Amino acid sequence: MIETKKTLCNRDCPDACGIVATIEDGRITKIRGDKEHPITRGFLCYRTSLFLSTQYSQERLTSPLLRHNGEFHPISWEEALDLAADRLTMIRNESGPAAIFHYRSGGSLGLLKHLSDYFFERFGPVTTKRGDICSGGGDAAQTLDFGEEESHDIFDLLNAKNILLWGKNVFTSSPHTVPVLMDAKAKGAKLVLIDPAHHKTAALCERFIQPRPGSDFALAMAVARILFENNWIDPQAGSYCDHLDAFRGLAMCHSVENWCQGADVAPESAHDLARRLGPEKPTAILVGWGMGRRINGAGMVRALDALCAISGNIGISGGGVSFYFKRRGAFDTSFIRGKEAAPRTVCEPLFGPELLRLSDPPIRAVWVTAGNPVAMLPESETTIKALSSREFVVVVDSFLTDTARLAHLVLPTTTLLEADDLLGSYGHHWIGVARPVVAPPAGVKSDLEITQELADRVGLGEVMAGSPSDWKRRFIAPKLEPRGLTLETLEAGAARNPLPKKVLFADRKFPTATRRVNLMTEAPPSAGDNLEYPLFMMSLSTEKSQSSHWATPQEGPATVTVHPDAARDIADGSLCRMESAIGSMMVRLRHDARQRRDVAIIPKGGHYKDGRCANALLRARTTDLGEGGALYDERVRLVRI
């Protein structure tokens, strides 16, 4: 028997694609993009296209594993959950719930994953995380500037005359934005890429500007000065922007030439950007998430917010500065209080150092949901030390990841093709449901089932009771049902979230304290230079991996891409060592004359066990605002072997 079923991809990606699966005799034989989904348009990214090799991998976990004397042994679910309940309860009774740390990350963006937060809040409340490894700096910037972090409808790009892709590699990070950009180009829009790294998106654009890493604030200030000097400021900007004079003073404190020298770009590039924002508007700015992942990351995003605001590209069709779509905005999660209820928090980018530092009480137990902190957070070796020294570590995952290898107990969970969940997106406004296209293998449970069976053992069974559909209705009812969207509506197909307007801030009223844009008035901090380590290490997403999940197995050293002049006479294709202030790793060098001479590009998400993890070289530091991860300010050098 052959049938097709639909679901949504729940991985950490802005596109939240619609998937059509072909099932033959209970086994998925093909997956493709849903042609009826307005964003997916019938195609999947490379990573998801190859997901069946992951779905049916022989390395997939199908039984709980208990580590004893350094070796993992399969145990029953009864044994596993009894052990977890006993150990967590004992630690809570002896040291208080703050001695337990529940860490949930973005390995799955399904809303029902939040119910693990709810369980640990009711069981404790326990220690939880704060900050955000991916977008904390940008989140804080836009919230401070506008009072809300949202975006225009993605199809409003069709009304833009210019689109500035500022640090955004759409082919890798937002592939389903590419057709929208192509449609905008067909209507006459001009595209510009501003990015220290050369990548495929440059081919989509009529102009490519390649500033010094971390210098985007200086480039933005050059553009701002030109806007002021040419009177290309919206005449009404003073009525909806606070601190306009102070921002003008900030922009005017250096000449255009000096600002551009700091950014290592020609002044003509700044003049070009100013024209597009000024007399040639409407211009939309799409901000790459990597923009916020620097010591001055929030400041750089704030500078782009300011450019959009003062030039009059805010609140108009074809304009806007887009960093994030509020993917949970349609759903009611207010019953989960999170940080408000927690006795204390751990800053996510400082996971390892803070876990080691915390006392009174020390963290004795760690439960990891939808995360792989060893591979995905800075200072991998510190994270390993922190987890290895805990009394009880539980990891819920489908595979024996770098983090799972350190656990005392590993609990196998469902994949994206087995998920029963509710999803929004941070790349567009369409929402929908994920439904299992096949049942999970025997011995595998969903996160909700694991949480509910654990809850039964610790006296919280009634609190966590309910089917996936029951919980979906609870998330949907308060905001969506009054607007005519029900669970049944979403099960019939993805729908646009009715809450956000298609043009953000069209009334030029902002949910800040003064109802006006809060323009920045001071320059953000700078990472400074380091002659001993001349290259900025940029660990970037690739089409081959989704965070630390790779579409195909990776073998041998990671490839590092540099300009030939930065190779220190190390030949193309040679092995060498890449060193930072805290570590080193063997890499294979690749020359690319299109790159800047001060960057070393390495794929994101390499596995620590394979010696491919860039985060082993990266110090744990936070952004200027929002406690995001300052991931792109680590300096490295290449050493011949």
Instruction: Label residue 551 by pLDDT band (50, 70, 90).
Output: confident
pLDDT of residue 526: 85
On the question of pLDDT at 9 being above 90, the answer is yes
Average pLDDT, the chain: 97
Mean pLDDT of 189-202: 98
C-alpha distances in angstroms, 211 versus 30, 220, 239, 265? 43, 11, 33, 6
pLDDT of residue 527: 78
Mean pLDDT of 298-315: 98
On the question of pLDDT at 239 being above 90, the answer is yes
The structural domains of the chain, with segments of one domain joined by +, span 2-55, 65-133+341-496, 151-323, 535-640
User: What is the third-level CATH fold of 535-640?
Assistant: Barwin-like endoglucanases (2.40.40)
Pick the CATH number of 2-55 from 3.40.50.410, 3.30.200.210, 3.40.50.1100, 2.40.30.40: 3.30.200.210
pLDDT of residue 553: 85
- For residues 598 and 144, what is the distance between their CA atoms, to the nearest angstrom? 32
Mean pLDDT of 453-473: 98
Distance from CA of residue 209 to its chain's centroid? 24
Contact present, 563 and 534 (Cβ < 8 Å): no
Q: What is the pTM of this model?
A: 0.96
What is residue 201's three-state secondary structure?
helix
Q: How many CB atoms lie within 10 A of CB 86?
A: 13
Element (H, E) at 27: strand 27-33
pLDDT of residue 531: 85
What's the pLDDT tens digit per position in 223-238?
A: 999 999 999 999 999 9
Closest C-alpha to 551, from 18, 32, 57: 57
Give residues with Cβ within 8 angstroms of 231, minimum separation 6: none
Query: Is there a shared CATH topology between the 151-323 domain and the 535-640 domain?
Result: no
On the question of pLDDT at 546 being above 90, the answer is no
Residue with tokens 């145990």: 75
| Domain 151-323 top-level CATH class | alpha beta
On the question of pLDDT at 552 being above 90, the answer is no
What's the pLDDT tens digit per position in 326-375?
A: 999 999 999 999 999 999 999 999 999 999 999 999 999 999 999 999 99
| Domain 65-133+341-496 top-level CATH class | alpha beta
Closest C-alpha to 366, from 374, 445, 455, 400: 374
What's the pLDDT tens digit per position in 623-633?
A: 999 999 999 99
Mean pLDDT of 596-617: 97
Contact present, 320 and 285 (Cβ < 8 Å): yes
Distance from CA of residue 446 to its chain's centroid? 23
